[in-house]
């Protein structure tokens, strides 16, 4: 494994415990209800997680973008896991249009949300998405831009240059744009390859973004730990959990999300990225 440089900042490790599609038929410890999510987050924080990336589901386990349920999740997190940041998703999953994705963020006003670049700009109403990002920055809301392919880094840079993505919340005090690189989402059998990170990093350099962004990786499948280790060794941050994978580095099936968090925290510590 590539050794981390001693000057790297501490790693941020976010847990993504359920995602939009998986159910308890996939793993019996996958949290679906708000109570299960908060209890899971409590265990994950004890294992070293710095925040929760949360999806909410309906009574049948289907993915929802629902402001009321998001508010319930945030309130339950504040009760059970006070001080642990909550990032809500705007993932469309084929059900939601960009205007609905933008609307749920405004209705919830969370402390953080994630948004796929290719989804929020999909309807051609760039002004509405730019307005959302500007509103979020003024409200102090962190935006994490999700990129599924290295080519999207160049598009992100072009949107920045055009002013379609304004400076992020906290930019006056040095905050940078947040990016999430997704590995393996469109690979065969949802299996990621750690080497797939390298084109993203090359494109960051080519686009002149290396000093303007903070990046994180999530990775599908059995290579999740290897991919996150590669990211941590190169100065990135990690999103880990059952949304993407159930397997530990040794091939064993994790008993719960906290076990996956603990393994990645140990990786970060071995690289000098945790204090």
226-244 pLDDT, tens digit per residue, is: 999 999 999 999 999 999 9
**Of 84, 135, 81, 92, which is closest to residue 117 (Cα–Cα)?**
92
pLDDT, one tens digit per residue, over 85-130 is 999 999 999 999 999 999 999 999 999 999 999 999 999 999 999 9
Residues 218, 239 contacting (CB under 8 angstroms)? yes
Secondary structure letter of residue 247 according to DSSP: B
pTM of the model: 0.95
Q: What is the dihedral of CA 231, 221, 48, 65, to 10 degrees?
A: 100
Q: What is the pLDDT of residues 183-201, one digit of tens each?
A: 998 777 889 999 999 999 9
CATH of 13-270, one of 1.10.10.60, 3.30.420.40, 3.40.1190.20, 3.20.20.70: 3.20.20.70
For the cut 60, the answer to whether the pLDDT of residue 5 exceeds it is no
> What is the model's pLDDT at position 220?
97
252-to-198, 204, 238, 245, 247 alpha-carbon distances in Å:
27, 34, 20, 11, 6
In sequence order, the 6+-apart residues with CB closer than 8 A to the CB of 107 are 67
Our CA dihedral for 147, 152, 157, 158, rounded to 10 degrees, sits at -130
* Res. 7 pLDDT band, cuts 50 70 90: low
Contact 80/57 with Cβ under 8 angstroms?
no
């Amino acid at each position: 494994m590539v050794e981390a440089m001693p000057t790297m900042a501490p790693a941020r490790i976010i847990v993504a415990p359920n995602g939009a599609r998986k159910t308890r038929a996939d793993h019996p410890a996958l949290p679906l209800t708000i109570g299960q999510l908060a209890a899971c987050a409590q265990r994950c924080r004890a294992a070293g997680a710095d925040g929760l990336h949360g999806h909410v589901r309906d009574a049948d386990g289907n993915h929802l973008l629902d402001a009321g349920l998001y508010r319930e999740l945030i309130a339950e997190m504040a009760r059970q896991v006070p001080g642990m940041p909550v990032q809500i998703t705007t993932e469309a999953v084929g059900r939601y249009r960009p205007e609905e994705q933008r609307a749920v963020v405004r209705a919830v006003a969370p402390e953080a949300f994630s948004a796929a670049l290719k989804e929020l700009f999909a309807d051609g109403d760039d002004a509405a998405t730019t307005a959302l990002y500007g509103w979020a920055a003024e409200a102090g809301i962190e935006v994490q831009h999700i990129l599924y392919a290295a080519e999207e880094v160049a598009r992100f840079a072009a949107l920045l240059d055009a002013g379609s993505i304004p400076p992020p919340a906290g930019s006056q005090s040095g905050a940078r744009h947040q990016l999430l690189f997704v590995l393996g989402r469109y690979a065969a059998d949802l299996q990621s390859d750690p080497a797939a990170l390298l084109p993203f990093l090359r494109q960051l350099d080519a686009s002149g973004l290396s000093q303007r962004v903070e990046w994180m990786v999530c990775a599908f499948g059995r290579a999740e730990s290897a991919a996150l280790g590669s990211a941590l060794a190169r100065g990135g941050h990690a999103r880990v959990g059952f949304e993407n994978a159930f397997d530990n580095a040794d091939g064993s099936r994790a008993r719960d999300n906290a076990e996956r968090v603990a393994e990645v925290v140990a990786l970060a510590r071995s690289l000098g990225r945790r204090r």
